[in-house]
Amino acid sequence: MNESAGGVDLQEETSGTVKKFMFVNRKAPYGTVYALEGLEVVLISAAFDQDVSMVFIDDGVYELVKGQNTKAIGMKNFSPTYRALEGYDIEKLYVDEESLAARGLTTEKLLVPVEVLNTAQMAELMDQQDVVISF
């Protein structure tokens, strides 16, 4: 198995095709495993040279909050990984305006630069995608 591309021989299987992939993050970073395992897929997708974007909606906006400290719950703080996304050329990060406001958050409280979209803009962006995977 080719580890770097998650079990796929890139040259043979997907050469040339570039699709718009959107990963929709809807869950808080801890409490369930969705955010952590979702991030794994995003990182693997980088190896396929696709047009990748990530959106953060509902409790998913908590994934990006600065200063996470997980000591008391005995789980790994994986939030630094979001800062590393840039190094994988994953730079299109979008946050839902209403979700942010409803939780008393602002972009200053987030650990990476994001673009804030309202519901209509988010819908339009989703409509443009070829593949939408939600976590």
Partner 1 sequence: MKFGLMVSEGPYTHQASDTAFKFAAAALEKGHQIDRIFFYHDGVNNATRLTEPPQDDRHIVNRWSALAEQHGIDLVVCVAAALRRGIKDEILPKGFRISGLGQLVETGIQSDRLVVFGD
Q: Which residue has the tokens 């979001």?
A: 82
Q: Residue 121, interface with partner 1 (CB under 8 A)?
A: no
Does 14 engage in binding with partner 1 (CB under 8 A)?
yes
33 binds partner 1, rule: CB under 8 A: yes
Element holding 98 (H helix, E strand): helix 97-102
Residue type, 37: E
Residue 47 as a binder of partner 1 (CB under 8 A): the answer is yes
Q: Does 133 bind partner 1 (CB under 8 A)?
A: yes
What does residue 41 show for φ and ψ, rounded to 5 degrees? -65, -40
Report the residue from 11, 25, 30, 37 that binds partner 1 according to the rule CB under 8 A. 37
State the minimum distance, in angstroms, from the CB of residue 19 to partner 1. 6
Cβ atoms of residues 110 and 66 within 8 Å:
yes
